[in-house]
Structure 1
Amino acid sequence: MSDTMNDPKSKVRKAIWRPQEPLPVAAEEDVSKLPNRVDDMFTGRAILITGGTGFLGKVLLEKILRTCSSVDTIYLLIRNKKGKEPRQRVEEVLASPLFGKLKAQMDGATLSRKVVGIPGDVTMLDLGLSASNRQLLTDRVSIVFHAAATIRFDEPLKRAVLINTRGTRLMLELAQDMKKLEAFLHVSTSYCHLKERVLYEKLYPPPADPHKIIKCVEWLEDDVVNAMTKKILGEIPNTYAYTKALSESLVAEQMDKLPVIILRPSIVIPIWKEPLPGWTDNINGPMGLLIGAGKGVIRTMYCNQQGYADYLPVDIAVNGVLLAAWNFISNKDHERRVCHLTSSSELKITWEEIIERGRHAIKAEVPFNGVVWYPGGSMKKSRLVHNICVILFHYLPAYLIDALIFLSGNKPILLRVQRRISKGFEMFEYYANNQWDFKNDHVVEIRKLINSKEKKIFKIDGEGLDIDRYIVDCIYAARLYILNETPDTLPAAKRHMTVMYWVDVITKLMFCGLLLWTFASWSENLLDGIHGMLNLVHYIVSSGGSQKTQPYK
């Protein structure tokens, strides 16, 4: 990657959406008169969402309320957190800017009536439900979206099993008692069967017996489980992938008994289209890299720059979740029990393209506040070279800047940031240097079944995607909603970026000048040394002869 890249399109290929099959041509009918059959499916129903306070869960909640307003009640299983009860946490979720568009079309009273927080915790036996709330859910709920999970790659194995695996088993046990259940949609991940390089929409064998693993972590102390983790995981790189694979096998066990579906979204990234382009509530995945690179604190990455990962904007993923539920319930498509919500079979974007386009957008349009250095750096194919660059361009500057911060009477922070980045890179490198492809035949078939109105409301393709515009939206939203950098700070941020550009240029020129001076001094001393050695050799050789000779000149 170049430090002074002006046009990312000149160095990286243009990502183009390539649908596997031609999309059906919209008929010339009045789209407004067409039915919204997904809304019809939800009419009068009560549904349950776990993980409703998470990234995907929030977008799913908003989408159902805004486009399927005929739904009767949405129950959110929410645990008490930091002294806040479920009702308070629901209010916090609904206060997010994500719900601004919804609130313009639905009054507060209706919203409060439709969204009900249920005290519960997937880590607790019986899900922490009271007898009355358990009865309420089993009597009323007909659709379950189980999205509760810890997505931390470095989560201790015991906690990851209790949340991701045992939590899924407890939810399935609850579903067995639901009198009206028509669909249980388990949100897994496409990155949980990593031994396979091409993944199909089918079941894969689990890495271990999930029931034995659950029993093991229930009985053993945390430190014992931690000591055994590496051996238990084997070749699987983290506890997230391991426990998600175990969870899928629990769902698979119930396929003959319950109306269950496994959904495998890939790397879920910020909103593409609506309701709020670019919105996210976290810095996981590519956004964390763009923020780190944009702030100037990430200068090197150990990564195959021509490799690619599978990304899916969260609004497209949520649309896929809802259409999978509709197809299962309304179309009685019970043959397809595994659905990939992925993009790599139709759109491939390299790591180089993401970083270059993102860095160009940050430099030219939406720079961050408080940039510590002009965005630059490169991807390294050699781990050794990368590690050397980490010391030179991450840790040494962090020590120097933190020393200046300390001397100014403030608390040093940059070294702590770099340590967190290094820890994140340990998890990231496995995925950045390997790649997988995912077949998404289920979604391709669903596209053929929906009408023009539903295609617009529940978009599940990448037609019309402008990569550059999307990245700008993501960075702008990250400034505003993650970093709290308001739009009025943009002019100052652009001026600061210009200053940092010249600081970067001058520093590089000074460094090059120092290298040339050092080389010149070293060369002069080397020549003097060589000349002296030749004189000495000539003297020794000459002194052994019968005739005296002049010193070597």
Structure 2
Amino acid sequence: MEASNIEPFLDGKTIFITGATGFLAKILVEKILQIQPNVKKLFLLVRAADTKSAKKRFTNEVMQTQLFSVLREKIGANNLNSLIEEKIFPVAGDISFEDFGIENSEMKDEMFREIDIIINSAATTRFDERYDIAMNINVLGALNVLKFAKRCENVNIITHVSTAYVSGEGEGVIPEKSFSLGETLNKDTKLDIDVERKVVEDKLKEIEAQNLTTKEVTMAMRDLGIQRATMHGWPNTYSFTKAMGEMLLGHYKEDLQLAIIRPTIITSTYKEPFPGWIEGVKTMDSFILAYGKGVLKFSFGDPNSYIDAIPGDMVVNAILAAIIAHIGNQYNSSQGFIYHISSSRRNPLKSSDIRLFLFNYFTKNPWINRDGKIIKVDMPTLFSSMDSFRKYISTYYWPLLKILELANLLSCRSFDKTYKDTKRKIDMAIRLAELYKPYLLFHGSFDDANTEGLRMAMKECNMDDVLNFDPSCIKWEDYFMETHLLGAVKHIF
């Protein structure tokens, strides 16, 4: 695919990206430089004290990653450095603040004049994040992006990265449908975002009066987020706050073009810039990590349910396709502005398949521990419900815990650490199971009719090769055995 096919759309454009040091944003920056070096500028929002610190953080956390090795080799290290110097402008700021707290007024004025495209990829993705933090980033952050966009003179489109799981624990085919302001998944409640903000403020005041430790404050605010999410029908703080962010954008966007990208479970890169690149422990990878190291001996998932996974580079391609289609009038946006970037409709992946892939991979490629010993894995025990998991815990672990507890009462101090470690592992296992249950026991599939429209638009523009986000081309066994698990071991273990 020649870059010239992209030129009518991104040539000379100035793009502003939030969450610039995140996993998706890094792939996005690399992809833009790869296919359209004639982009005018990339303003990248980086949480930092000042411009110098923002540049340093961008260099250390983005440019020095292996992700840019292909581009560096392709155009040469000096040319890449020159390209970065000319095109990329890290901006010190925080999405939680109005105007992102940008103190450099000259840069801010320049951004207002020049920005054509805004991509909001900033988010906290922790399922049980502190409610105040999730509210500031995922909800108010989205509103701050919109307010900033309205002060820009030439913005063509805001592309907001959300999650398909704003749908909650749905069943059947889940449509690419937007939320109305105040809508909930629990029809017995009504959501008022201002009330939710007041709940956060009141809880923080209450906590402050109790003189709690930092850890206790964190746990209290995490529990509050889960409570409020559950009350309104969402399974966790992440999906709840991302839904509220979508509501604000959709309600207040006025005549601004908006595209909301809803990826499912994001995995390592499929092909670009090379297969298997991943960074940080994602949803699925926490289980892979624990299983490969011999810590986790069970897995969740109804054998008949699907795990909806999508590679990170396909998500990035979809983001760019949405931008190109909307600003180039290649797609009838009246059909919708919500895009599920998913695989469950076109190329479903069974929970039982992943279990088999894990066993086969780590049997053939066992992890070596710090003592140089090979960790042998067994086929993980499958639990298809929380009830079956709790029964397993009560049968095999609680008796051990009770014995250790009795040993403590009898002043057998040598058992104290074993007791605490065992209890911590049990508590963590139950908490993780509750958090991941909505994703691993998910019985819905995501409609992608709007996304298919984008794919057709890219095909008509002869850009379907360079912007491939069609999951039907993925052979899951090959991808997991030769790409994702290999990448997880290399980049995470």
Q: Deviations over 1:109-160 (max 9, x none)?
A: 2123222110000123431112333212111111000010000011011111
Q: Is the 8 A contact 1:293 1:299 kept in 2?
A: yes
TM-score after normalising by structure 2: 0.81
User: Are 2:311 and 1:313 aligned?
Assistant: yes
User: Are 2:193 and 1:210 aligned?
Assistant: yes
Query: In the TM superposition, what is the alpha-carbon distance from 1:324 to its structure 2 partner?
Result: 0.6
1:381-396 map, 5 Å: 381=384, 383-390=386-393
Partner of residue 28, structure 2: 60
Partner of residue 247, structure 1: 245
Q: Closer, same or farther in 2 for the Cα pair 1:345/1:213, shift >3 Å?
A: same
SS of the aligned residue for 1:367 comes to: coil
1:85-164 map, 5 Å: 85-92=53-60, 93-106=62-75, 107=79, 108-130=81-103, 131-164=105-138
Q: Closer, same or farther in 2 for the Cα pair 1:360/1:143, shift >3 Å?
A: same
Q: Deviations over 1:461-498 (max 9, x none)?
A: 13442222211222222222112xxxxxxxxxxxxxxx
- The 2-side partners of 1:231 and 1:469 are apart by 40
Q: Is the 8 A contact 1:295 1:375 kept in 2?
A: no
Match of 2:466 among 428, 435, 457: 457
SS of the aligned residue for 1:436 comes to: strand
SS of the aligned residue for 1:153 comes to: coil
- The 1-side partners of 2:110 and 2:396 are apart by 57
Partner of residue 347, structure 1: 347
TM-score after normalising by structure 1: 0.73
Partner of residue 17, structure 2: 49
- The 2-side partners of 1:287 and 1:37 are apart by 36
Q: Is the 8 A contact 1:292 1:298 kept in 2?
A: yes
Between stretches 250-259 and 340-349, larger displacement belongs to 250-259
- The 1-side partners of 2:102 and 2:50 are apart by 19
User: Are 2:469 and 1:471 aligned?
Assistant: no
Q: Closer, same or farther in 2 for the Cα pair 1:302/1:344, shift >3 Å?
A: closer
Q: Which amino acid in 2 is paired with 1:164?
A: N
Partner of residue 162, structure 2: 188
Q: Is the 8 A contact 2:359 2:380 kept in 1?
A: no
- The 2-side partners of 1:71 and 1:381 are apart by 49
Query: In the TM superposition, what is the alpha-carbon distance from 1:317 to its structure 2 partner?
Result: 0.9
> How high is the sequence identity, in percent, across the aligned residues?
24
Q: Is the 8 A contact 1:297 1:418 kept in 2?
A: no
Between stretches 54-63 and 388-397, larger displacement belongs to 388-397
1:275-424 map, 5 Å: 275-331=273-329, 333-335=332-334, 336-364=336-364, 366-370=365-369, 372-381=375-384, 383-390=386-393, 420-424=428-432
Q: Is the 8 A contact 1:294 1:375 kept in 2?
A: no
SS of the aligned residue for 1:456 comes to: coil
Q: Closer, same or farther in 2 for the Cα pair 1:458/1:467, shift >3 Å?
A: same
Give the greater-gyration-radius structure (CA): 1
Q: Deviations over 1:396-436 (max 9, x none)?
A: 99999xxxxx99xxxx9898666544432220123322322
Match of 1:75 among 24, 43, 60: 43
- The 1-side partners of 2:4 and 2:424 are apart by 51
Q: Deviations over 1:167-213 (max 9, x none)?
A: 11111110000001001111111101226433222212333233443
- The 2-side partners of 1:301 and 1:394 are apart by 16
Unaligned 5+ segments in structure 1 are 1-30, 401-405, 484-553
Between stretches 69-78 and 457-466, larger displacement belongs to 457-466
SS of the aligned residue for 2:166 comes to: coil
Q: Closer, same or farther in 2 for the Cα pair 1:228/1:421, shift >3 Å?
A: closer
- The 2-side partners of 1:81 and 1:476 are apart by 37
SS of the aligned residue for 1:104 comes to: helix
Partner of residue 200, structure 1: 175
Q: How many residues align?
A: 443
Query: In the TM superposition, what is the alpha-carbon distance from 1:80 to its structure 2 partner?
Result: 1.9
Query: In the TM superposition, what is the alpha-carbon distance from 1:61 to its structure 2 partner?
Result: 1.2
- The 2-side partners of 1:137 and 1:219 are apart by 36
Q: Is the 8 A contact 1:290 1:358 kept in 2?
A: yes
Q: Deviations over 1:33-53 (max 9, x none)?
A: xx7443431111111101121
Q: Which amino acid in 2 is paired with 1:118?
A: V
SS of the aligned residue for 1:49 comes to: strand
Q: Which amino acid in 1 is paired with 2:164?
A: S
Query: In the TM superposition, what is the alpha-carbon distance from 1:67 to its structure 2 partner?
Result: 1.3
Query: In the TM superposition, what is the alpha-carbon distance from 1:215 to its structure 2 partner?
Result: 4.9
RMSD: 3.1
SS of the aligned residue for 2:94 comes to: coil
Query: In the TM superposition, what is the alpha-carbon distance from 1:239 to its structure 2 partner?
Result: 0.8
- The 2-side partners of 1:64 and 1:284 are apart by 24
Q: Closer, same or farther in 2 for the Cα pair 1:111/1:229, shift >3 Å?
A: closer
SS of the aligned residue for 1:105 comes to: helix
Q: Deviations over 1:24-69 (max 9, x none)?
A: xxxxxxx65xx74434311111111011211111111111111121
- The 2-side partners of 1:357 and 1:320 are apart by 27
SS of the aligned residue for 1:263 comes to: strand
- The 1-side partners of 2:52 and 2:428 are apart by 28
Q: Which amino acid in 2 is paired with 1:271?
A: T
User: Are 2:485 and 1:482 aligned?
Assistant: no
Q: Which amino acid in 1 is paired with 2:150?
A: Q
Partner of residue 175, structure 1: 149
Match of 1:434 among 417, 422, 442: 442
